[in-house]
Amino acid sequence: MACLVYGAVYIPFDNVVKILGGKTVERSAWQSIVIQSRLPQAATAVLAGSALAVSGLLLQTFFRNPLAGPSILGISDGANLGVATVILLAGNTTQLFLGAYWAIIPAAFAGAGGVMALIIYFSAKVRNSVMLLIIGIMIGYLASSAISILNYYATADRVHSYVMWGMGNFSSISLERLPLFAICTIGGLLFSVMLIKPLNALLLGETYAANLGVNVRSLRMKILACTGFLAAVTTAFCGPVSFIGLAVPHVARLLLGSSNHRQLLPVTLLAGACVALLCNLLMVVPGSGTILPLNAVTPWVGAPIIIYVIASRKHIHYFNEA
């Protein structure tokens, strides 16, 4: 709600309520700002925030690692690379940004899926989770390097549009594209809800999960597909948004005091939406009428949480072994 009221342009609160109530207000510009810009932006933040947070939760449970998240494991970078390939090499950018989201989404998904597959391959070989994270970071660097090379050979306007996309944004989705984005994220989130029960079994490790009747191999594939899809969709639409996927599951666990996914997953989903809305608010520089890039804000929200969780591992047990 605050996101609808508060923005680069000042619009009085009662007017926002009027606009949302379907009434006309004295300035039509306000109306179009609220309906055409702020409303889809808030909706995008809610959807993208919950998608990223749930994707992070699945990865953290899957790798039993508090530092797993789409951005750390290189999955976002993979999606980035996919998008960069499309924006920088193929077609012309105006066309792309006017309607060809269909090209970006599969590209992002292919990139994210490729990195996920690599990580899974290495996770079978490298049992140590810190080492696995380092591998993820390395893969991320490789993807970034590939993006740099693409940038180097691309034309200036394509580079510009890629850089703008890369700063992360909840506002790039217009009211017309919102339904597509909503269908994709809600579909992915519903799929994740179906994984709640086996995710709980996975808390004891794969052998115990298998003994409890879970088909571990198929579960791995489902988690891979679900996280890859959620991360890819948000990355394709909003650019690479860092820290939400990493930090929000921790917020949810700290709030709940439980690792039971029956509660943890819905709470993570809601917390993701709230944190994304908060970041969206913080993007607006007070009094100046300017808006910061999303990725300038998310680390200030996410990083302190991660540092707190790591620093108090003696009291926060959910990733300790026992």
Task: Please give the residue ranges that form the binding site for another protein (CB under 8 A).
Answer: 64, 194, 196-197, 200-201, 203-205, 207-208, 210-215, 253, 257-260, 262, 316-322
Shortest distance, position 94 Cβ to another protein, whole Å: 47
User: In angstroms, rounded to a whole number, what is the distance separating the alpha carbons of residues 299 and 162?
Assistant: 21
Other beta carbons less than 10 A from residue 59's beta carbon:
29
Shortest distance, position 252 Cβ to another protein, whole Å: 13
The smaller minimum CB distance to another protein, of residues 186 and 212, is found at 212
138, 73 Cβ separation under 8 angstroms: no
- For residue 141 the two structure tokens come to 């660097």
The smaller minimum CB distance to another protein, of residues 196 and 225, is found at 196
The smaller minimum CB distance to another protein, of residues 61 and 242, is found at 61
Distances (CA, A) of 49 to 147, 229, 233: 25, 14, 12
Shortest distance, position 253 Cβ to another protein, whole Å: 8
Distances (CA, A) of 164 to 12, 80, 168, 312: 30, 13, 8, 37
The smaller minimum CB distance to another protein, of residues 154 and 189, is found at 189
Shortest distance, position 210 Cβ to another protein, whole Å: 6
Compute the half-sphere exposure of residue 184: CA atoms within 13 Å on the CB side of its CA: 26
Shortest distance, position 46 Cβ to another protein, whole Å: 24
User: In angstroms, rounded to a whole number, what is the distance separating the alpha carbons of residues 237 and 48?
Assistant: 9
Let me know if 246 is exposed, middle or buried by CB neighbors in 10 A (0-12, 13-18, 19+): buried
Residues 6+ apart with CB under 8 A from 220: 62, 120
User: In angstroms, rounded to a whole number, what is the distance separating the alpha carbons of residues 258 and 35?
Assistant: 39
Per DSSP, helices labelled H in the chain are 2-5, 13-20, 28-32, 39-63, 75-84, 93-99, 101-125, 129-153, 156-166, 178-193, 196-202, 206-211, 216-238, 244-256, 261-282, 294-311
The smaller minimum CB distance to another protein, of residues 38 and 261, is found at 261
Shortest distance, position 310 Cβ to another protein, whole Å: 15
The smaller minimum CB distance to another protein, of residues 26 and 125, is found at 125
The smaller minimum CB distance to another protein, of residues 126 and 196, is found at 196
Shortest distance, position 140 Cβ to another protein, whole Å: 25
